[in-house]
Amino acid sequence: MSSLRVRLFATLIAATGALWLIAAAWIYVGARQEVEHVLDTRLQEAARMVASLVASGDLPAQSKPDAGTPVIPGLGGYERQLSCQIWSLDDRLVARSSGAPDEKLSDSGAGFSERVVNGEPWRVYAVEDGAKGIRVLVGDRLGLREKLVGDLIKGLLWPAALILPLLGLVIWASVGRSLEPLSRIARELGRRDAEDMKPVDAGAAPSEIRPLTAALNGLFDKVERARRHEREVTAFAAHELRTPLAGLKTQAQIAVAAKDPAIRDRALGQILSAVGRTSRLVSQLLALARLDAEAPETAGSSIALEEAVLEALELSRAAGAAEVTISDGVRRACVRAPREPLLMLLRNLQENALEHTPPDGRAAWRLSADGAALELHDEGPGAPEAELPRLTQRFFRGSAKVATGEGAGLGLAIAAAAAERCGATLSFGNREDRSGFVARIAFAPGAITLASPAAG
Amino acid sequence: MRVLVVEDDPVLLDGLKVGLGLAGATCDVVSTCGDAEAALATGDFDAVVLDRMLPDGSGLDVLKRVRASGNRTPILLLTALDETSDRIAGLDAGADDYIGKPFDLEELAARIRAIARRGQGRAAGALEWRDLTLDPATMSAARGGEALALSRREFAVLAALIERRGAIASRAEIEDRLYGWQEEIESNAVEVHVHHLRAKLGRDAIETVRGLGYRMGGPR
């Protein structure tokens, strides 16, 4: 059942009905016992009363045997329920109450007994009076008892049958009312367009729905933040792409308009350099888009670090002429990571180091002291402490890059995104022994494994 | 016409400097907000081309601070953000004009001439003095309907003097119009250009005010 309303309604009606039935059964059992007890007591009392009346001699105990059985005038108002017979001990019917059957109600001795008389079950109490030679039998029909209890239960069930539909209406309406906030939220959300990320108004919602609205609003907030971030990146990308395009167009117009061959040649040179920089920018943007689109956790294989570093170095060699060294620790180490992101990470860090290190300087790959992180130390100027946290922001250019106008501020952003795909965290610092920049890739515990020196 | 260009992309910056130079403007170029504000505080420019996204901040903030300091130099915003809301924000922050990247160099030059002209309180594109007409858009001069051959620098000196409408322009101010910061100023260049102009226009065309500078001769 998918409708909450129907489900709640059915449950409540079933529960109410069951409750009523159980109550009726309980009352039936209880009432039956009580009725039996009371009526038995009444039988006893009536029998003793008749016996004592007979004993006091008011009744013609020895009356004419064949003049027909005298009829005892009605015993109170119970003549329809209670029947009384007085038998002599030699089995003659001495007297009976009106409505009592002629047949002997009981053959057993004193006390309670049950038997079928004229096809009806009777319950009988017998008192024997040895001195007078009589036996008093007082009985009632069991059917009457059942009817009494049955009437009681009917009295209980009839109103229930009448009230239950009424109750159903009330339950149906009140469940509907209780679910109204949900429908209100659903209507509100249904009316929205894709741009509307305003939080859902939880004001009037009952506390049960608050977790839902809170979760919804949390989700809206997350989506909105992601979209804002995307918009910012798109705006930056637009700026970063349109600016070189504007430069290209301007230079091309100069080349077309210039009459002086020197000016034209210079403009063409500028166009060439701008095309080179723009294509690098485009490939960086594509790399970032690819990293963004990839699943966050890609299963990796075990890769020899030295091989990966050498491959990255080959790809980034154009960035600078500085010497690159690889420590013994790195040569012996393997890392478990997805291959493409790892290469992208190493390559972008390597490019960054080569761009900043003077041609006669040195960039060194080594393992951290605990062997869990790969580090790249360069001999460039390092970065101002204030800029360190912002280095991985997209399109953020450090002050050194701003001065030269080089780079788009994407290299380290790509490295950070690639590190995330490798399950590693990227951090930066400045060298303490000399000027220089340190990039540190902390892999997940156990990702780096070391071969024994003998094997390496 | 002296223009300050604030742009961080080296290729575009070079293109603007050379391209606007070809269109008759003398360009000073800077790449950061800080340099732009320093240049505007000290230099006298006919117009400013200001990139909106700069490495050390937003061109919009530079614009607001410059306007707050009372500087009325015409400013054209150059931007890659070309949504309407961005244009409105730029114009409301005090920009005189707005152009999106990539743009047409000639259109940019025309827009710069237009805001510079309005900054000088002129509406017409051409500069006139007696029967002489200068057209800054084509850098051509005509006298009584006949074309007059002027070099780029001669044109700039003449335009600077006519823009002043009889007020005195000092030698330094004229040099500012002729040379950007990066250019070497020849020591007697202004005198040489004035000499050539007098030869073409007549001796009374440009008056020398001793110790102060030059001005155009009064109407005949």
What CATH number should be reported for the domain holding residue A421?
Answer: 3.30.565.10
Which amino acid is located at A37 in the chain?
H
What are the E-state strand segments in A103-146?
111-117, 120-129, 134-141
Identify the burial level of B217 via C-beta atoms within 10 angstroms of its C-beta, where 0-12 means exposed, 13-18 middle and 19 or more buried.
middle
SS3 call for B27: strand
pLDDT of residue A456: 39
Diameter of chain B measured on Cα atoms: 55
pLDDT digits 0-9 by tens, A359-388: 999 999 999 888 889 999 999 888 888 888
SS3 call for A60: coil
Which of B81, B20, B10 has the alpha carbon at shortest distance from B49? B20
A186 alpha-carbon distance from chain centroid: 19
Name chain A contacts of B79, Cβ cutoff 8 Å: 239
Distance from CA of A236 to the nearest CA of B (A): 9
- Comparing B25 with B5, which gets the higher pLDDT? B5
Which of A254, A393, A406 should we substitute to test contact with B (largest number of B Cβ atoms within 10 Å)? A254
Lowest mean pLDDT among A198-212, A246-260, B108-122, B141-155: A198-212
pLDDT of residue A4: 79
Which helix or strand (DSSP H or E) is residue B10 part of? Answer: helix B10-22
Rounded (10°) angle between helices B10-22 and B105-119: 70
How crowded is the C-beta side of B191, counted as CA atoms within 13 Å?
4
Per the structure block, which two tokens stand in for B3? 């223009």
Residues A279 and A302 occupy one common structural domain: no
Task: Indicate if the alpha-carbon torsion angle B184, B190, B192, B196 is positive or negative.
Answer: positive
Residues A399 and A360 occupy one common structural domain: yes
pLDDT digits 0-9 by tens, A162-191: 888 888 899 889 888 888 888 888 888 888
Per the structure block, which two tokens stand in for A210? 């608050």
- Cβ separation B80–A239 shorter than 8 A: yes
Residues A269 and A350 occupy one common structural domain: no
Residues A27 and A130 occupy one common structural domain: yes
Q: Which residues of B touch A (CB under 8 A)?
A: 8-16, 18-19, 22, 31-32, 51, 53, 55-56, 78-81, 100-106
- Cβ separation A238–B80 shorter than 8 A: yes
Fold of B127-216: Arc Repressor Mutant, subunit A (1.10.10)
A359 vs A452: CA distance, rounded Å: 35
Distance from CA of B86 to the nearest CA of A (A): 11
pLDDT of residue A411: 86
Distance from CA of A306 to the nearest CA of B (A): 37
Which helix or strand (DSSP H or E) is residue A84 part of? Answer: strand A82-88
Q: Which residues contact A5 (CB under 8 A, 6 or more apart)?
A: A172, A175, A176, A179
State the residue range of the domain holding A9: 4-153
Residue A203 lies in a domain: no
Which of B5, B6, B9, B11 should we substitute to test contact with A (largest number of A Cβ atoms within 10 Å)? B11
Here the ipTM equals 0.75
DSSP string, A171-216: HHHHHHHHHHHHHHHHHHHHH--TT--PPP--TTS-TTTHHHHHHH
Cβ-Cβ contacts under 8 Å between A and B: the total is 93
Q: Which residues contact A372 (CB under 8 A, 6 or more apart)?
A: A442, A443, A445, A447, A448
Residues A133 and A45 occupy one common structural domain: yes
Residues A286 and A303 occupy one common structural domain: no
What are the E-state strand segments in A226-266?
none
Residue A185 lies in a domain: no
Choose the final residue of a domain: A123, A153, A183. A153
Name the range with the highest mean pLDDT among A36-50, A225-239, B167-181: A36-50
How many domains in chain A?
A: 3
Name chain A contacts of B105, Cβ cutoff 8 Å: 249-250, 253-254, 257
Distance from CA of B88 to the nearest CA of A (A): 17
Residues A429 and A303 occupy one common structural domain: yes
β-pair partners for B141:
B134, B148
Residues A14 and A137 occupy one common structural domain: yes
Rounded (10°) angle between helices A411-421 and A339-356: 150
Which helix or strand (DSSP H or E) is residue A83 part of? Answer: strand A82-88
A212 φ, ψ (degrees, to nearest 5): -65, -50
Name chain B contacts of A242, Cβ cutoff 8 Å: 80, 100-102
- Mean pLDDT throughout B135-140? 82
Question: Was domain B2-119 assigned CATH 3.40.50.2300?
Answer: yes
Residues A70 and A130 occupy one common structural domain: yes
Check for a shared fold between B2-119 and B127-216: no
Give the nearest partner residue to B22 out of A242, A254, A402, using CB atoms: A254
Answer whether A420's CB lies under 8 Å from A296's CB: yes
Task: Indicate if the alpha-carbon torsion angle A202, A204, A205, A207 is positive or negative.
Answer: positive
The residue length of chain B stands at: 220
- Mean pLDDT throughout A120-136? 84
Identify the burial level of A235 via C-beta atoms within 10 angstroms of its C-beta, where 0-12 means exposed, 13-18 middle and 19 or more buried.
middle
Per DSSP, B169 falls in state: B
Choose the final residue of a domain: A233, A265, A291. A291
Answer whether B50's CB lies under 8 Å from B75's CB: yes
pLDDT digits 0-9 by tens, A129-152: 878 788 888 888 888 888 888 888
- Comparing A11 with A454, which gets the higher pLDDT? A11
Answer whether A383's CB lies under 8 Å from A428's CB: yes
Choose the final residue of a domain: A114, A136, A153. A153
Residues A320 and A424 occupy one common structural domain: yes
Give the nearest partner residue to B101 out of A235, A246, A258, using CB atoms: A246
Q: Which residues contact A212 (CB under 8 A, 6 or more apart)?
A: A185
Residues A301 and A443 occupy one common structural domain: yes
Residues A317 and A359 occupy one common structural domain: yes
A313 vs A185: CA distance, rounded Å: 56
Residue A64 lies in a domain: yes
Residue A338 lies in a domain: yes
Whole-model pTM? 0.59
Name chain A contacts of B138, Cβ cutoff 8 Å: none
- Cβ separation A251–B14 shorter than 8 A: yes
The domain locations on chain B are 2-119, 127-216
pLDDT of residue A61: 46
